[in-house]
Amino acid sequence: MKVFVTRRLPGDALERLSAAHEVELWEDQLPPPPAELRRRAPGLEGLLSMLTDPVDADLIAAAPALQAISNYAVGVDNVDVEAATARGIPVGNTPGVLTDSTADLALALMLGIARRVAEGDGYVRAGEWRTWDPRLLLGDDLHGATVGIVGFGRIGRAVGRRCRGFDCEVLQTSRSGGVGLDELLRRSDFVTLHAPLTPETRALIDGDALARMKPTAYLVNTARGPLVDTDALTRALHDGEIAGAALDVTDPEPLPGDHPLLRAPNLLVVPHLGSATHATRERMAAMAVDNLLAGLAGERMPNCANPEAYDRRAGATRRAP
């Protein structure tokens, strides 16, 4: 079958896909423009997409032969899952595999912003370090701090385990329980976001939420950029409403080099590195290819975000003359 893969992947998983199907690979480092995806849509039977690729209802409608979508990510918020389900198209994702790598990065960002690591590196490289000074680049401790975890799924729980190793008091809020968000914001020295992006969580951390945080507290986001109101965060950093922010994800993403947020003080930003280890990214590639191979074979994907698509497909088959 004809398959389009929107970026080269680490490891050898694409070799397995190419051995079974006709694969067209987008070689550019930047994602294919939406118009390019639309141009290829009529002939597509399989699509292996990245989180940066908008697989919307119009694209799905323009691909009448499309049998399976495999998203190289845990989340599928770039895919119109409802439109895919209506067509009986399964949508694969890669859950679980990046839990520990992302949790590690969340701790790295907490330490990096609180201990001013990037600022210190820049200070040395600029030739400004001339002597040891007891007042130089003073930061804040993670050990013994109160860490508030917003979203207590796999990654949130993994972050909590790591924080307890630093003798932190861990607060959590999620749909399944914990403390209220207001209490968490008010009490936490670090607020770290691990909630999924939904209509309810979009701009969850807005101006009011930032104002409820301690002026000595740090915000960390390794989940999804739109959980945070970017303009409100920019103002809060400039006004000193919070001590700092460390972001692996942004809104917009990628963040343009001239974006106002990048001129805010006490900010650490990295380019969506949560899963960026050799082992994790290669395992994600293997999972994404496994999902696509199963979907194209008419079998259940090992990891499917919309299993109800199979019920829709089975119903359509029963109704066919």
Number of Cβ within a 10 Å radius of residue 273: 15
- Of residues 21, 253, 259, 312, which has the active-site annotation? 253
- Of residues 162, 272, 281, 283, which has the active-site annotation? 272
Query: Smallest Cα–Cα separation from 173: which of 188, 152, 187?
Result: 152
Q: Model confidence at 176, in pLDDT bands (50, 70, 90)?
A: confident
Write out pLDDT tens, residues 15-58: 999 999 999 999 999 999 999 999 999 999 999 999 999 999 99
Catalytic residue flag (residue 259): no
Of the ranges 6-10, 105-109, 158-162, 172-176, which one carries the lowest mean pLDDT score? 172-176
Please check whether residues 55 and 109 belong to one and the same domain.
no
Return d(Cα 80, Cα 109) in angstroms, integer.
31
Instruction: Give the pLDDT mean for 280-306.
Output: 97
Residue 186 belongs to what domain range?
Answer: 99-269
Last residue of a domain, one of 249, 269, 289: 269
* Residue 87 in this model has a pLDDT that exceeds 90: yes
Please check whether residues 295 and 154 belong to one and the same domain.
no
Last residue of a domain, one of 251, 269, 287: 269
Catalytic residue flag (residue 272): yes
Distances, alpha carbon 321 to alpha carbons 35, 261, 311, in Å = 36, 58, 18
Burial degree of 124 (CB within 10 A; 0-12, 13-18, 19+): exposed
pTM over 0.85: yes
Last residue of a domain, one of 227, 246, 269: 269
Please check whether residues 146 and 47 belong to one and the same domain.
no
Query: Higher model confidence: residue 315 or residue 281?
Result: 281
What CATH number did the domain enclosing 262 receive?
3.40.50.720
Please check whether residues 263 and 292 belong to one and the same domain.
no
Number of folded domains that form the chain: 2
Catalytic residue flag (residue 224): yes
